[in-house]
Amino acid sequence: MKHSNYDISESELDDYVVDVYERLKDRVYKVRVSTNRFRCPFCGERERKDYLFDDIVQHARRVGKGSRRDGLKLKGKHIALEKFLLKYYSPRVSSGPSRQSISQVNRNDDEKFVWPWKGIVANIPVELKDGRYVGDSGSKLRDELARKGFNPLKVRPLWSPKGHSGFAIVDFNKDILGFDNARSFEKDFELSHCGKKEFNTTRSRGDKLFGWMAREDDYNSSGLIGKHLRDNGDLKTLADIESEDKRKDQSLVSNLAQTLVGKDKQEKELQNKLRETCASLEKVMKETDKMTEAYNAEMERMRRETVKVKEKILIDHENFKRDLKSQEEKLKRHENLLEEREADYDNKIVKLRRQRKLNELARQEQKRSEQKVVRLVEEHEREKEALHQKIIDLEKQIDKRQALELQIEQLKGAAHVTEHMGRDAETREKMEKINKELKETEDELEDIEALTQALIVKERKCNDELQDARKEMISGLRERKAVRSNIGVKLMGLLDEKTIGNIAKGKYTKKEAPIKAKELLSLCREYIEDPEWHPFKVITESGVNKEVINEEDERLKDLRNEQGEEVWRTVTTVMSELNEYNPSGLYPVPELWNFKDDKKARLGEAAEYIVNLWRSHKKKKI
């Protein structure tokens, strides 16, 4: 993959790293200049210099983790360089203790360092605010050093009475890995020409940070740095640390040896216990074997006895089998005799049942005939009374008409008599008065007849319109299916299955209730749908004849006695509604109903309910 001189994007960085890594493998760039000296092929001539292996790895890692201001290409090249160095030039270390990882290059066993390992950061930018110097916090500097891979534990800024001193102490781990991190920290500043030597010799330091590893001269110096180092550390050489580590190792080995002696003693004790346990277990096994032999002997004896008992049982079984076969033959003969008698008995039973059924049907037919005759007589009486009422009304109308006609005839007669009496002024005046009254009476009679006809037509028309309006209102309310409304549609003469179910739940157990509900529902329908059954009687209330339930009806009495008051009330209610609203069809019909007052709703009530419903719906839309 080839790239132009322009910088790359973030998404192309990984591919660019692979490309540079492959060119490093193909020796396109020269990295190693001697046995232990390396050179970065991607830095400029001014910055190019020779590094030890650890130093060039630190240089490649620092630039590879740098900011994007230096360019993604430069960053990618140094990332590839770090991978290449670690892959092909990393020194092979032994698998011994980790303390051997201390670099032996230029090692001076007499050089004293501050322990625990510490670094010093100088020339931290500060500014004067409110009479005191302030600067960046230690956590910010610690995070920056951690990103470079130095793994500091803590960064402690040094404060004087005037505020931030511009110096900070960096704490590292006490172990050898902490020493390597502190050395890498110092080398990084030296590679950037910002070490202790440059700090002491440079006059114009600018905003650059300087850093080095704390040693004996820093420990013994006066001022904030020396005081802090003396309060928080000691001076030790690498030889002192190694001798102390050796002493600790020897102590650890001695402790381990003592522990090993104790473990050997425990092992011997456990072996003694094991031998004792084995001997005890062997004794138990011998006892177990004896018990097993005794058990097997007893089982064999029981087996022999069982065989004898079994043979005896088989012999007894054969004898019993023969006796049973003989008894079976006797029972079979007796069974045949009983079957013959049973067949004759069944024939007689069938004849008796058939005869009883015929008698029952005859009684029912006679009862229905009697009820039919009674109903016909009652209907005849009702029709007779209605006809009598119509005759009375017609007679009243005829009387009124005859009275008017008689009055007319009288007036005509008076006029005729007056006409024959003479033609004087008084007679003529009476004649004119009689004629006038006659004409007024005739006009009144015509007006009454016209008004009567008009009222009859208007009544029929209004009645038809009201019936149509009632039907439309019933149809609309049925389609709407309103919930919890005062005005709605009720099916008059409908047998409610839910009511029957509740009655069954109250009378029977939870398991029996569904089956009994179906049986009750079937029984009630059988009563209601019987066209020949008319359990009503006629009574007179306020001079008006009306039909009510005849509680003395035999079938109703049987229903009340057998099924209870609730079933009787349900059937009589349905029958009353059917007799009132649909006596000829005997099927439920819809009716406007006031559920609040439990009565038939007037057309005005239903109209008012629909108007209020429309108004509330209109307000919701608005």
- Band (pLDDT 50/70/90 cuts) for residue 438 is confident
pLDDT reported for residue 340: 80
Tell me what the mean pLDDT of segment 211-215 comes to. 91
Q: State the Cα–Cα distance between residues 260 and 266, nearest whole angstrom.
A: 10
pLDDT at 392: 66
Do 479 and 592 lie in a common domain?
yes
Both tokens of 108, joined, read 């001076």
pLDDT > 90? residue 498: no
Q: Examine residue 253 and state whether it is found in any structural domain, yes or no.
A: no
The per-residue DSSP string of 134-190 comes to EE--HHHHHHHHHHTT---SEEEEEEETTEEEEEEEEE--SSHHHHHHHHHHHHHHH
> Looking at per-residue confidence, does 554 or 10 come out higher?
554
**Residue 113 sits in which domain range?**
108-232
**Torsion angle in degrees (nearest 10) through CA of 105, 109, 113, 115:** 110
CA-CA distance, 400 to 66, in Å (whole number)?
A: 126
Lowest mean pLDDT among 20-29, 170-179, 214-223, 435-444: 435-444
Residues 76 and 53 grouped into a single domain: yes
Pairing of strands 132-135, 118-122: unpaired
Predicted confidence (pLDDT) at residue 95 exceeds the cutoff of 50: no
Q: Are residues 548 and 599 in the same domain?
A: no
497 DSSP 8-state letter: H
**How do strand 118-122 and strand 163-171 relate by DSSP bridges?**
antiparallel
Q: Name the amino acid, one letter, at 91.
A: P
Asked if 486 and 507 sit in the same domain, the reply is: no
- Boundary (domain end) residue, out of 88, 120, 148: 88
Whether the predicted pLDDT of 99 surpasses 50: no
Average confidence (pLDDT) over 176-204: 86
Structure confidence at residue 97 as a pLDDT band (50, 70, 90): very low
Judgement on whether residues 43 and 187 belong to the same structural domain of the protein: no
Which one is predicted more confidently, 396 or 155? 155
pLDDT surpasses 60 at 414: yes
* Full DSSP string of 118-129: EEEEE---EEEE
Q: What is the CATH number of the domain that holds 202?
A: 3.30.70.2890
What is the Cα–Cα distance from 491 to 589, expressed in whole angstroms? Answer: 5
Residue 134: what pLDDT?
86
In a domain, 97, yes or no: no
pLDDT of residue 94: 37
Average pLDDT, the chain: 78
pLDDT at 2 over 50: no
pLDDT at residue number 584: 72
Q: In the structure encoding, which two tokens stand for residue 500, read together? A: 């029957």
Alpha-carbon span 82 to 74, nearest angstrom? 13
Question: 3-state secondary structure string, 332-344?
Answer: HHHHHHHHHHHHH
Q: Check pLDDT > 80 for residue 462.
A: no
d(CA 24, CA 20): 6
**Which residues, including other chains, have CB under 8 Å from residue 293's CB and lie 6 or more apart?**
none
Confidence of residue 119 (pLDDT cuts 50, 70, 90): very high
Confidence band for 434, pLDDT divided at 50, 70 and 90: confident
Residue 620, pLDDT score: 60
Residue 252, token pair as written in the block: 């650890």
Residues 489 and 514 in one domain: no
223 plus 112 within the same structural domain: yes
Q: pLDDT for 295-312, tens place per residue?
A: 889 888 888 888 888 888
Q: Which of 81-85, 89-93, 95-99, 482-486 has the lowest mean pLDDT?
A: 95-99
Same domain, 531 and 600: no
**Residue 445 in tokens:** 């009679």
Residue 472: which residues within 8 A CB-CB, separation 6 or more? none
Pairing of strands 599-600, 118-122: unpaired
- Which range of 342-351, 434-443, 506-515 scores highest in mean pLDDT? It is 506-515
Nearest of 533, 572, 525 to residue 364 by alpha carbon: 533
**pLDDT, position 533:** 87
Compute the chain's Rg from CA coordinates: 63
Is it the case that residue 113 has pLDDT exceeding 80? Answer: yes
- Whose CA is closest to 136, among 226, 189, 70, 209? 209
Q: Which residues contact 494 (CB under 8 A, 6 or more apart)?
A: 574, 588
* Domain assignment present for 14: yes
Q: What is the pLDDT of residue 102?
A: 44
Please give the pLDDT value at position 98.
40
Co-location of 506 and 480 in the same domain: no
Tens digits of residue pLDDT in 242-276 = 777 677 767 777 777 787 888 878 888 888 888 88
> How far is 265 from 271, CA to CA, in rounded Å?
10
| CB-facing half-sphere around the CA of 164: CA atoms within 13 A | 22
pLDDT greater at residue 56 or residue 444 = 56
Whether pLDDT at 556 is above 80: yes
Distance CA 292, CA 286 (A): 10
129 with 195, same domain: the answer is yes
Mean predicted confidence (pLDDT) in 552-563: 87
* pTM score, whole prediction: 0.31
pLDDT of residue 212: 92
Angle between helices 554-563 and 513-528 (to 10 degrees): 170
Within a domain: 27: yes
CA neighbor of 404 nearest in space, from 453, 450, 437, 451: 437
Interval 20-44 mean pLDDT: 84
Same structural domain for residues 70 and 207? Answer: no
In the prediction, which pLDDT does 53 show? 86
**How confident is the model over 522-544, as pLDDT tens digits?**
888 888 888 888 888 888 887 77
Cα–Cα distance measured from residue 216 to residue 486, given in angstroms and rounded to the nearest whole number? 103
Confidence at 120, pLDDT banded by 50, 70, 90: very high
Mark whether 530 and 473 lie in a shared domain.
no
In the predicted structure, residue 170 carries a pLDDT above the cut 90: yes
Which three-class secondary structure state does DSSP give residue 490? strand
In a domain, 28, yes or no: yes
In a domain, 395, yes or no: no
Residue 586 DSSP code = -
Mean pLDDT calculated for residue range 214-236: 87
Residue 319: count other Cβ atoms within 10 Å of its Cβ: 10
Distance CA 398, CA 411 (A): 19
What pLDDT is attached to residue 103?
A: 43
Task: Reply yes or no: is the peptide bond before residue 116 cis, omega within 30 of 0.
Answer: yes
Percent residues over pLDDT 90 in the chain: 4
Burial of 488 (0-12, 13-18, 19+ CB in 10 A): buried
Domain C-terminal end among 56, 88, 120: 88
Residue 488 has φ and ψ, to the nearest 5°, of -165, -165
Residue 168 pLDDT level (bands cut at 50, 70, 90): very high
pLDDT at 376 over 60: no
Q: What is the pLDDT of residue 171?
A: 92
How wide is the angle at C-alpha 588 spanned by C-alphas 587 and 594, nearest 5°? 160
% of the chain exceeding 70 in pLDDT: 78
What does the alpha-carbon distance between residue 423 and residue 420 come to, in Å, rounded to a whole number? Answer: 8
User: Does residue 369 have a pLDDT over 70?
Assistant: no
Which has the higher per-residue pLDDT, 253 or 69? 253
Last residue of a domain, one of 232, 262, 295: 232
Is the residue at 518 inside a domain?
Answer: yes
Lowest-confidence pick of 181-190, 252-261, 311-320: 252-261
- Distance, in Å, from the CA atom of 195 to the CA atom of 178, rounded to the nearest integer, reads 19
Confirm whether 42 is domain-assigned. Answer: yes
Q: Which amino acid is at 25?
A: K
- In total, how many domains does the chain have? 4
